[in-house]
Structure 1
Amino acid sequence: MNKNNKRSTWKYGQPKTAFISGGGSGLGLNIAKELIQEGANIAIFDHGRSDDLVQYLNQLIVHNDQRIERYIVDIADPKALDKAMNSAVSEVGVPDFALNSAGILRTATFSKLSYETFEQVINVNLIGSRNFAFSVLQHMQSGGHLILVASLAGIVGSYTHAAYAASKFGVVGLAEVLRLELKLKGISVSVICPGEIDTPLLKQERIDGSPITEMMNDFAGVLSVEDAINGIMKGLKTRQYMITPGFRAKLTRAIARKFTTLFHLIADSKLAKAYSKFQSK
Structure 2
Amino acid sequence: MSKWKHGAPRVAFISGGGSGLGLRLAHELVQEGVKVAIFDLYVDDAVLADLRKQASNGGWVESYTVDITDPDAIDITMDLAAAEIGAPEFAINCAGILRTAEFTELPYEIFEQTIRVNLIGSRNFAAGALRHMQSGGHLALVASLAGICGSYTHAAYSASKFGVVGLAEVLRTELTPKGIHVSVVCPGEIQTPMLEEERRVGRVVAEVVNEFAGVMPVDKAVAGILAGLRRRQYMITPGFRARLTRALARKTTTLFHRIVDGKVRAGLAAERQLTATE
Q: Name 1:33's counterpart in structure 2.
A: 27
* SS of residue in 1 equivalent to 2:233: coil
CA distance in 2, matches of 1:200, 1:133: 25
CA distance in 1, matches of 2:104, 2:188: 25
Residue 17 of structure 2 is aligned to residue 23 of structure 1: yes
Query: Unmatched 5+ residue regions in structure 1?
Result: none
TM-score (norm 1): 0.95
CA distance in 2, matches of 1:172, 1:131: 15
1:262 pairs, out of 238, 255, 259, with 255
Q: Name 2:55's counterpart in structure 1.
A: 61
1:222-272 Cα deviation digits (max 9, x unpaired): 000111011001100100000000000000000000111110011011111
Q: Name 2:151's counterpart in structure 1.
A: 158
TM-score (norm 2): 0.96
Question: Could you tell me which amino acid in structure 1 is paired with residue 104 of structure 2?
Answer: S
The percentage of aligned residue pairs carrying the same residue is 61
Equivalent residues of 2:146, 2:162 under 8 A apart: yes
Q: Name 2:89's counterpart in structure 1.
A: 96
1:273 pairs, out of 253, 266, 270, with 266
2:198 pairs, out of 186, 197, 205, with 205
2:184 pairs, out of 186, 191, 195, with 191
CA distance in 2, matches of 1:108, 1:243: 27
* SS of residue in 2 equivalent to 1:202: helix
Equivalent pairs, count: 274
Residue 117 of structure 2 is aligned to residue 116 of structure 1: no
Equivalent residues of 2:102, 2:153 under 8 A apart: yes
Q: Name 2:239's counterpart in structure 1.
A: 246
CA distance in 2, matches of 1:109, 1:198: 23
* SS of residue in 2 equivalent to 1:14: coil
RMSD: 1.0
CA distance in 2, matches of 1:227, 1:173: 26
Query: Unmatched 5+ residue regions in structure 2?
Result: none
Equivalent residues of 2:13, 2:38 under 8 A apart: yes
Question: Could you tell me which amino acid in structure 1 is paired with residue 79 of structure 2?
Answer: N
Structure 1 runs (4+) deviating above 4 angstroms are none
Q: Name 1:45's counterpart in structure 2.
A: 39
Residue 6 of structure 2 is aligned to residue 12 of structure 1: yes
Residues 203-242 of structure 1: pairs in structure 2 closer than 5 A? 203-242=196-235
1:160-196 Cα deviation digits (max 9, x unpaired): 0000000000000000000010001100000000000
* SS of residue in 1 equivalent to 2:5: coil
Which region of structure 1 is more displaced relative to structure 2, 270-279 or 163-172? 270-279
Instruction: State the 1:49 CA deviation.
Output: 4.3
